[in-house]
Amino acid sequence: MKRSIRDLDVRGKRALVRVDYNVPLSGDGRVVDASRIEATLPTIMLLRDGGASVVLMSHLGRPKGQRKPELSLAPVAEVLGHSLGTDVPLAEDCVGPAAERVVRALKAGDVCLLENLRFHAEEEANDPEFAHALAALGDVYVNDAFGAAHRAHASTAGVPKHLPSAAGLLMERELHALGQILESPARPFVAIVGGAKVSSKLGVLESLLRRVDVLLIGGGMANTFLKAQGLEVGKSLLEADLVPQAAELVRQAKELLLPTDVLVADAVEEGAQASMVTVDAVPAQSAIVDIGPDTLRRYGDALSDAGTILWNGPMGVFEIPAFAEGTRSIARLLADSHAMTVIGGGESVAAVEQLGLAERMSHVSTGGGASLEFLEGRKLPGVAALDDA
């Protein structure tokens, strides 16, 4: 157990808070999706109410140690200020005189945002001097950036060496929900794993097989499993080198369900000709782009009496609307379920948010790669670095 933000005495102190504001921006630099910003508001409000001044730090994009104006956090500061109903000044840098000036001017209840951490290569290198310079801007440290907790960077793993530290409310929620799934899930425990490649989720699949009662596979990764059963998948995405591992996973599983029918298309693009076929009749010139209605019916039956459902990864080429019905249908099934439902992975989260179903899920993870590594049972540097309770 890590120390909670609730156990920190913050009155009259500067709280240095690592947040994950790596949000999508439009071509003209506006924030397209503010959900990651909104998710941190409870932590910020708790600190303000506790009498702290709040110094927020985040990365945005991959500037690779260079100052890139298009990756400035200025649009984020504007959205955050609007959400909090107060001015949120953006420091021109995250360390040095420019940052110190803004931080020194803060009074209790004030909030500021430091400029993009990754404008400095020292952030991703976990440079000790850079971590020390960041730590000098606060009296206590709070990590509320679960999405960056799997990175051993200066702002996640370095700063806690210099300051009393704790997990923020969002971090706590993530650790509790994902920890419950690994340690004491209500049963039957059903996992739905999709996405493009087996290789990116091999560790998760191996970890989940030891824990779940039923595993449902969809998306591009299902093709490798179908191939392992001797089926042809046409021009579909396939990791031929992982066919033996897929066969072994099937052998180890208590119960593993694969698609029985699929939507195939002559090209993976909007407007392509598409048709529904059984998995033993995929045309040589076609690619599998979604799961079919019989598969959905079988998956729905497996989900109907679940106590816990974990969903990570889409069922088809979700970014093309014509190939997204399987993913949408899974989202609706989970929204109607009485089980504890935990959603992780970018496209799964996008699906439930686009359909307006996020509020009907037990937990929607902000983690992405961090949630995958947590579910694999790996230690997250940004969590390990925090003070124990």
Residue 204 and residue 136 share a domain: no
Q: Do 128 and 206 fall within a single domain?
A: no
Contact of 134 with 159, CB cutoff 8 Å: yes
Three-state DSSP at 328 gives helix
Does 383 fall in a domain?
no
346 is catalytic: yes
- pLDDT reading at 368 higher than 90: no
Kindly report, residue by residue over 218-257, the tens digit of the pLDDT.
999 999 999 999 999 999 999 999 999 999 999 998 899 9
Does 36 qualify as catalytic in the annotation?
A: yes
Q: Is the peptide bond before 188 cis (omega within 30 degrees of 0)?
A: yes
Same domain, 31 and 108: yes
Whether residue 382 is contained in a domain is answered as no
The confidence band for 46, taking pLDDT boundaries of 50, 70 and 90, is very high
**Strand order, beta sheet including 14-18:** 111-113, 53-57, 14-18, 140-143, 165-167
368 tagged catalytic: no
Identify whether residues 331 and 357 lie together within a single domain: yes
pLDDT at 1 over 90: no
Catalytic, 197? Answer yes
Q: Is residue 79 part of a domain?
A: yes
Any idea what the CATH number is for the domain that residue 60 is in? 3.40.50.1260
Same domain, 186 and 330: yes
Please choose, from the candidates 263, 258, 328, the residue with its C-alpha nearest in 3D space to the C-alpha of residue 291: 263
Domain limits for position 125: 5-169
Averaged pLDDT, 143-168: 97
Degrees, nearest 5: CA angle 198-174-12: 145
Q: Are residues 163 and 237 in the same domain?
A: no
pLDDT at 366: 81
- The predicted-structure confidence for 70-102, as pLDDT tens digits, reads as follows 999 999 999 999 999 999 999 999 999 999 999
Q: Would you state the structure tokens that stand for residue 246, as one six-digit string?
A: 């897929």
User: Considering 197, 211, 332, 360, which one is annotated as catalytic?
Assistant: 197
Render pLDDT for 257-280 as a digit per residue (tens, 0 to 9): 999 999 999 999 999 999 999 999
- Please state the length of the chain: 389
- Mean of the per-residue pLDDT values for the chain? 95
Same domain, yes or no: 199 and 129:
no
Same domain? 36 vs 185: no
Where among 169, 186, 220 does a domain terminate?
169
- Looking at the fold, whether 165 and 185 belong to one and the same domain comes out as no
> 381 in a domain, yes or no?
no
Domain boundary among 169, 202, 231: 169
One domain for residues 143 and 83: yes
Q: Do 91 and 185 lie in a common domain? A: no
| Residue 376: pLDDT band with limits 50, 70, 90 | confident
In a domain, 182, yes or no: yes
Which of 36, 173, 201, 227 is catalytic? The answer is: 36
Residue 289 CA to residue 223 CA, distance in Å, equals: 10
The residue out of 125, 141, 169 marking a domain boundary is 169
Does residue 387 lie within any of the structural domains?
no
Q: Report yes or no on 263 lying in a domain.
A: yes
Strand ordering across the sheet containing 214-217: 256-257, 214-217, 189-193, 308-312, 340-344, 363-364
Q: How many distinct structural domains can be found in the chain?
A: 2
Output the CA angle 344-349-354, nearest 5 degrees. 165
**Distance separating alpha carbons of residues 359 and 353, to the nearest angstrom:** 9
* Rg, the chain, Cα only: 23
| Choice among 12-21, 221-230, 290-299, 373-382 with the minimum mean pLDDT | 373-382
Query: How far is 167 from 145, CA to CA, in rounded Å?
Result: 9
- Same structural domain, 335 and 213: yes
pLDDT in tens, 287-342: 999 999 999 999 999 999 999 999 999 999 999 999 999 999 999 999 999 999 99
